[in-house]
Amino acid sequence: MSFGLHSTTDEVLAGADLRGKRILVTGVSAGLGVETARALAAHGATVIGAARDLVKAKAATEVVRKDAANGGSLALIELDLASLASIRAAADRLVAEGKPLDVIIANAGVMAAPFGHTADGFETQFGTNHLGHFTFINRIASLLRQGSRVVSLASSGHRFANVELEDPNFERGDYDPWVAYGRAKTANILFAVAFDQRHKARGIRAVAVHPGGIQTELARHLPEGATQGMIDQMNAEQAKEGKPPFQWKTVQQGAATSVWAGVVAAADEVGGKYCENCHVTTTITDGPLGLMNEGVRPYALDPENAAALWAKSEEMVGETFS
């Protein structure tokens, strides 16, 4: 069955039996993370939900426990992706438990945040969105079973900027929240490319996904009116092309590509790829891309770029991962 822009999590998972699958989802205190966990647990998966604020996450995930079926369940773990100490503690606990994983969905993130730093001095967006997941996933990679997958949530926002490995923390250049977001989201794609390259020989694949435009807490750092300004710009572009105006995706539609890439699509179809609207993106171009049009920048899928980012990331966090 083919899926697309308007497909929901329940449509994508219709008939799926996820009993016996252990799936870790980061960012389960709101939005896409909660819906991703809900859909998976509703089809029998054992879900481990990671969140910085466990009190908030427990309240937000009541719907996950309510909808869990066929043996599905949810357990919460504390994980602050802006702190290497928290990341290492969470990873060490999971490794000590030794329970294998079938899927990791790296969902948590921040967008267009004001200039700041993580606990370890990394620029907030690059440090949280990329380095946090990079360290956490690599530290628990030994738990991934043969045939498992890593899903890295990226964004069409990767088009704003390639990674900048000479100045990742904006120590020399002027800070722009959207450039920083673009660098971090490009890094999320490149991480999937590099992780896939390193692990596919043992049947473990990684894929990057863009969920689409959804109204969630991710936009909390944007000034009032900024979102509407972006929508007006998109609608002007759409009108020029004779296309209908922008419409927000629902959270159920936004989380669909994550679960599709994680448990539905064929591994060889999505491994090392960038996906949106529940399919692999075929448009790879340096040319103009409307904000609503599908497509990925070549630099985000470049293996050499991915390898360079991996090496820089190891240097920054002070760990080497095979």
- What residues act catalytically? 181
Burial of 251 (0-12, 13-18, 19+ CB in 10 A): buried
Would you state the structure tokens that stand for residue 177, as one six-digit string? Answer: 């929240």
Cα distance between residue 307 and residue 74, in whole Å: 35
Burial of 217 (0-12, 13-18, 19+ CB in 10 A): middle
Q: Which helix (H) or strand (E) holds 289?
A: none
Q: Give the CA radius of gyration of the chain.
A: 18
CB 196, CB 205: distance < 8 Å = yes
Cα distance between residue 278 and residue 256, in whole Å: 7
Cα distance between residue 78 and residue 57, in whole Å: 10
DSSP secondary structure of 151-169: EEE--GGGGG----SSSTT
